[in-house]
Amino acid sequence: MPGLRAVLFDLDGVLTPTAALHMRAWERLFAPWSRARGVEPYTDADYFSHIDGRPRYDGVAAYVASRGVDLPWGTPEDAPGDGSVCALGNRKDELVNRMFAEEGIEPYPGSVRFLDAVTAAGAAVAVVSSSRNTPTVLAAAGLAHRFDVVVDGNVAATEGLAGKPAPDTYVRAAELVGVPVRDSVVVEDAVSGVAAGRAGGFGLVVGVDRGVGAEALREHGADVVVTDLGELGADLLEAARGGTR
């Protein structure tokens, strides 16, 4: 079997530790909202069950529905608040951008080593993220120049691509780097993301366990699970397509 020729990276929790920052932003949004509504308190388990890896508004809708609350969807132009799904999502965006500015962003050293290794070996690379903040995060982390192809929440909205766990954004990234999905690697830390890789028929799906659990990542489609991408090298590209499934 030919080797794998492209590596498609999720951003938050894979290249940068912004997943932890996003988790805290979601807690700041939903802990007071849940108290005010008199519903079951928000916990980190809700992040992994309803929010992780999904487009922002979809995550809001899933969490709100889990608490039996019916909110109108609204529009992306809604002011940050709590009167609609979009208003809540925009409030979360406001919170997380403030945190980016205050705390800064450093990429995972192991992820940078893996990125260096696969690019030196000649693999095409891309970022695939549900976040609309992807350009800001890549720039702040000093990684923007490393990726000519970025398929993020902004691209998905413009092109009408379904978000994860649908495979559409990863498939689009493979198209843009010019490598078939069967010859491409998906690297994800979210169950929705590894499910997207499995659904898209990608050659290999790598799960990075940042807290969701190795078993959950495997159950949803990961062929290989690591706790840090520094555990892997460019020899991963020699894996037979789908050989570990």
Active site residues: 10, 12
Helix or strand or coil: residue 178? coil
- State the Cα–Cα distance between residues 130 and 157, nearest whole angstrom: 10
Backbone angles phi, psi at 212, to 5 degrees: -75, -25
Token pair for 35 = 């108290």
Bridging pattern class, strands 149-151 and 124-128: parallel
- State the Cα–Cα distance between residues 115 and 174, nearest whole angstrom: 17
| Residues near 84 by beta carbon (within 8 Å), at least 6 away in sequence | 71, 72, 73, 74, 75, 78
